[in-house]
């Protein structure tokens, strides 16, 4: 079942959510307006039709931008939820089918009110397209330099940053995160600690964790509340499946291209990256040999964007 969902954003960046009516599948949960494609119907035409029927708005299909596609299973019902971002339409939304609806800032949406398949769509909307990671060879003596660099990165607009500093004692990485936290919270940025779940728990809001592949395999549930980000490092389809089982917010998939750090690992390439993203039920960043300019390529392949070290600082 191919279901189209319209992520309508108003001029102040709020998104329109509709409540599923009583008596229907997932009754009471909130969703993005849209619905099933009729037999023989073109997907975008179905979205335009659904938005006209449900809300009385007219959308020009050419202005809709693909956001993310989520394959999902509810019991015995398999669906592909195909979400498109819509910034322009004609007419004021009206509740033509009696559904309750609301405009709400994506950051204020409690994921628990959404239909489960919509939670990764909300994350795709919230997450940025760039994910810089600190270089692995940074010595502890460079603490002041990296405190300054990370502060500048947040000030210039980075919203997702990974502190991966394998040469540092874990306490020093936590101290760095703690020093950056007031600025990060003010700017709405998240600092992800590599592998340090306990540190993320202690530091709270504004700090998340980037799980290593081994940790993801060993965990049976999401290690942090929904208010703190959980990313997972993945290399194949099984790991992406496990990442969404854990209800991670996103995955990094690597290596997409040849990297200086692992020159002997065969890269996935963009076509394989695209295939794996297509089957993944969460936003996926491309990692490995990526530069910021590869962001468009990653998005064309269905990804959320690019993660990397070189070229991001």
Ligand X SMILES: Nc1nc2c([nH]c(=O)n2[C@H]2C[C@H](O)[C@@H](COP(=O)(O)OP(=O)(O)OP(=O)(O)O)O2)c(=O)[nH]1
Q: Which residue is nearest to ligand X (CB)?
A: 35
Nearer to ligand X, 80 or 187 (CB): 80
Cα separations in angstroms, 93 against 46, 98, 137: 17, 12, 53
Binding site for ligand X (CB under 6 A): 3, 5, 24-26, 31-32, 34-36, 77, 79, 81, 115, 117-118
Nearer to ligand X, 65 or 258 (CB): 65
Nearer to ligand X, 114 or 177 (CB): 114
Nearer to ligand X, 32 or 168 (CB): 32
Question: Smallest distance, Å, CB 245 to ligand X?
Answer: 17
Cα(97)–Cα(292) distance, integer angstroms: 44
Question: Smallest distance, Å, CB 290 to ligand X?
Answer: 30
Residue 162 has φ and ψ, to the nearest 5°, of -105, 125
Question: Smallest distance, Å, CB 2 to ligand X?
Answer: 9
Give start and end residues of each alpha helix (H) in 219-253: 237-245
Tokens 């309750």 locate to 100
Q: Which of 249, 202, 194 is nearest to 227 (CA)?
A: 249
Nearer to ligand X, 99 or 151 (CB): 99
Tokens 């599948």 locate to 25
Give start and end residues of each alpha helix (H) in 82-131: 119-126
Report which DSSP code applies to 114: B
Query: In the sheet that 30-31 helps form, which strands lie side by side, from edge to edge?
Result: 30-31, 15-19, 101-104
Question: Smallest distance, Å, CB 77 to ligand X?
Answer: 6
Q: Tell me if residue 73 falls in helix, strand or coil.
A: strand
Nearer to ligand X, 118 or 294 (CB): 118
Question: Smallest distance, Å, CB 237 to ligand X?
Answer: 22
Question: Smallest distance, Å, CB 99 to ligand X?
Answer: 10
The angle, 0 to 180 degrees and rounded to 10, between the axes of the packed helices 143-155 and 170-187 is: 20
Q: Is 179 exposed, middle or buried (0-12, 13-18, 19+ CB in 10 A)?
A: middle
Question: Smallest distance, Å, CB 233 to ligand X?
Answer: 27
Nearer to ligand X, 77 or 108 (CB): 77
Two tokens, residue 165: 């500093």
């Amino acid at each position: 079942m191919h279901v189209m969902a319209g992520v309508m954003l108003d001029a102040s960046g709020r998104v329109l959510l509709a409540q599923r009516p009583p008596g229907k599948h997932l009754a009471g949960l909130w969703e993005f307006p849209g619905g099933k494609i009729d037999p023989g119907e073109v997907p975008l035409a179905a979205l335009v039709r659904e938005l006209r029927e449900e809300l009385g708005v007219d959308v020009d299909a050419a202005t809709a931008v693909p956001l993310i596609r989520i394959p999902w299973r509810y019991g015995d019902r398999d669906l592909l939820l195909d979400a498109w971002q819509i910034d322009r339409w004609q007419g004021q939304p009206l509740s033509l089918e009696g559904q309750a609806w609301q405009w709400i800032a994506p950051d204020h949406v409690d994921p628990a009110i959404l239909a489960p398949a919509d939670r990764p769509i909300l994350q795709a909307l919230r997450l940025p397209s760039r994910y810089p990671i600190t270089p692995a060879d940074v010595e502890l003596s460079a603490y002041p330099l990296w405190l300054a660099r990370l502060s500048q990165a947040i000030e210039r607009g980075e919203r997702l940053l990974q502190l991966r500093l394998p040469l540092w004692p874990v306490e020093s990485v936590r101290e760095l995160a703690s020093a950056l936290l007031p600025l990060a919270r003010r700017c709405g940025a998240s600092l992800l600690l590599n592998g340090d779940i306990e540190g993320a728990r202690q530091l709270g809001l504004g700090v998340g964790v980037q799980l290593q592949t081994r940790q993801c395999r060993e965990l049976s549930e999401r290690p942090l509340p929904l208010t703190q980000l959980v990313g997972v490092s993945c290399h194949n389809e099984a790991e992406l499946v496990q990442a969404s089982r854990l209800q991670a917010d996103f995955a990094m998939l690597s290596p997409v291209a040849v990297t200086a750090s692992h020159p002997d690992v065969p890269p996935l390439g963009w076509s394989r990256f695209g295939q794996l993203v297509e089957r993944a039920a969460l936003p996926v960043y491309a990692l490995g040999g990526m530069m910021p300019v590869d962001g468009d390529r990653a998005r064309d392949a269905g990804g959320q964007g690019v993660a990397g070290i070189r070229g991001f600082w």
